[in-house]
């Protein structure tokens, strides 16, 4: 069943993410693994959002390196991630993520929660969980995840940590060699960067279609035109010193062979990327936008989009209308730049993926408003 996700029929129009035809139930013997940084809101207030963001992406990199494949479902959430893991990879993924948890505490002074729930338990509780396969481009896909099972799994993990925090008989070494956070924050090209979270109320899933219909009127050029990663070709790479300092915290020791190798790679790689010396590098940079996750869905619609101030006002009007009608809860955060964290296994098409969030809080800041609205419903 490890090929279950790979064999799903992909859909290429993101506007279809809510359609039943594009989803299949997740097998009962798979695991839902959810990670998040505890106290991320306070860390953001302290100006540590890049650290929070990095650990969120690191959970995906560590898990995929453990499984030696990216072809299982995952969604980046800013301060963590949701992963659906086949049984044959589950123990190794848990062990590596517990290793990442230890590294986060030691090198980042942050507490990374790692929770795990067997899908069979969600099924028995009457909480469905389904997954779709959205084609980012001709060679790369990302998961869309829906169902009450996802919300329930998060509830179990946070309310009963002694039972649902991931367990393993060993602590694995997280392989973060493919994790890269070397781009400077990407400035808005159109006015402001908007981080957006939308969750339909129970029985109101058609609200997503209403929202996307309104977006089609507000953004006639389409969502692709709002992708902040389109500015990557004009954006700056961080300095070699900044990248070495950041990379150091992915390793247990500055004298480890793995860090020394990465340091040499960074020195050479920074020069090549900054100078755009080869056709392969130029192709990699040009492909970044089509390999980015600026819009996604994991029972919550998540977007990071580059908009004019007028467009943001119109988006808020639509959101407020749907909220007052009792159809959605939402949260937003507006800032000047986007942040990009990269998962780079190769520079070839399909060999890299880029996780987007907004600066100065991003999804974590937007989640404060979303949670408040959900609490009002309860």
Angle among Cα 62, 68, 70 to the nearest 5 degrees reads: 75
Residue 272 belongs to some domain of the structure: yes
Lowest-confidence region among 120-129, 190-199, 243-252: 243-252
pLDDT tens-place string over residues 140-178: 999 999 999 999 999 999 999 999 999 888 999 898 888
pLDDT for 282 equals 79
For residue 143, what are the CA distances in angstroms to 24, 147, 206, 337?
12, 13, 20, 25
Residue 1 belongs to some domain of the structure: no
Q: Structurally, how many domains does the chain consist of?
A: 1
Residue 9 belongs to some domain of the structure: no
Q: Could you tell me if 324 and 271 are in contact, meaning their C-beta atoms sit under 8 angstroms apart?
A: no
Query: CA 374, CA 23: separation in Å to the nearest integer?
Result: 25
pLDDT for 234 equals 64
Confidence band, pLDDT 50/70/90 cuts, at residue 199:
very high
Over the chain, what is the mean pLDDT? 90
Q: Which one of 23-27, 53-57, 258-262 scores highest in mean pLDDT?
A: 23-27
Query: CA 371, CA 327: separation in Å to the nearest integer?
Result: 15
Residue 181 belongs to some domain of the structure: yes
pLDDT for 238 equals 66
Helices (H), 219-358: 240-248, 257-275, 279-287, 309-324
Q: Is the pLDDT of residue 300 over 90?
A: yes
Confidence band, pLDDT 50/70/90 cuts, at residue 93:
very high
- What the block records as the tokens of 283 is 């192709």
Give residue for tokens 């990095």. Answer: 54
- Range of the structural domain that residue 85 is part of: 14-377
Q: Is the pLDDT of residue 314 over 60?
A: yes
- The pTM of this model reads 0.89
- What the block records as the tokens of 231 is 């500015």
Residue 38 belongs to some domain of the structure: yes
pLDDT for 257 equals 65
Confidence band, pLDDT 50/70/90 cuts, at residue 216:
very high
Q: Is the pLDDT of residue 36 over 90?
A: yes
Give the residue-averaged pLDDT of 53-70.
Answer: 91
Residue 3 belongs to some domain of the structure: no
| Structural element, H or E, at residue 355 | strand 352-358
Residue 5 belongs to some domain of the structure: no
Share above pLDDT 70 across residues of the chain, in percent, rounded to a whole number: 87
pLDDT for 235 equals 63
Residue 35 belongs to some domain of the structure: yes
Angle among Cα 311, 363, 71 to the nearest 5 degrees reads: 110
């Amino acid at each position: 069943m490890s090929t279950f996700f790979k064999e799903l029929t992909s859909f290429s129009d993101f506007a279809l993410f809510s359609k039943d035809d594009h989803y299949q139930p997740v097998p009962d013997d798979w695991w839902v693994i959810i990670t998040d940084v505890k106290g991320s809101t306070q860390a953001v207030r302290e100006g540590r959002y890049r650290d929070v963001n990095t650990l969120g992406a690191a959970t995906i990199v560590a898990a995929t390196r453990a499984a030696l494949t990216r072809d299982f479902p995952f969604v980046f959430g800013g301060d963590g991630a949701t992963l659906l893991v086949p049984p044959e990879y589950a123990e190794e993924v848990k062990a590596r993520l517990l290793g990442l948890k230890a590294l986060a505490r030691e090198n980042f002074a942050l507490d990374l929660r790692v929770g795990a729930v067997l899908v069979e338990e969600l099924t028995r509780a009457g909480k469905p969980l389904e997954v779709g396969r959205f084609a980012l481009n001709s060679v790369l896909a990302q998961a869309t995840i829906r169902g009450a099972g996802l919300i329930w799994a998060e509830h179990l993990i946070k309310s009963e940590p002694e039972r649902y925090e991931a367990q393993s008989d060993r602590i694995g070494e997280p392989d973060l060699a493919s994790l890269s956070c070397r781009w400077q924050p990407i400035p808005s090209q159109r006015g402001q960067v908007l981080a957006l979270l939308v969750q339909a109320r129970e029985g109101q899933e058609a609200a997503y279609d209403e929202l996307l219909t309104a977006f089609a009127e507000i953004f006639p050029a389409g969502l692709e035109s709002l992708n902040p990663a389109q500015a990557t070709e004009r954006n700056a790479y961080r300095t070699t010193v900044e990248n070495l300092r950041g990379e150091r915290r992915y390793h247990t020791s500055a004298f480890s062979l793995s860090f020394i190798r990465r340091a040499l790679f960074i020195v050479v790689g920074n020069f090549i990327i900054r100078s755009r010396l080869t056709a392969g590098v130029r192709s990699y940079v040009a492909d970044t936008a089509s390999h980015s996750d600026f819009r996604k869905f994991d029972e919550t619609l998540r977007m990071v989009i580059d908009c004019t101030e007028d467009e943001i006002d119109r988006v808020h009007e639509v959101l407020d209308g749907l909220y007052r009608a009792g159809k959605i809860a939402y949260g937003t955060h507006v800032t000047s730049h986007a942040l990009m964290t990269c998962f780079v296994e190769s520079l070839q098409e399909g060999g890299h993926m880029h996780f987007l969030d907004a600066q100065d809080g991003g999804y974590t800041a937007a989640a404060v408003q979303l949670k408040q609205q959900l609490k009002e419903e309860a």
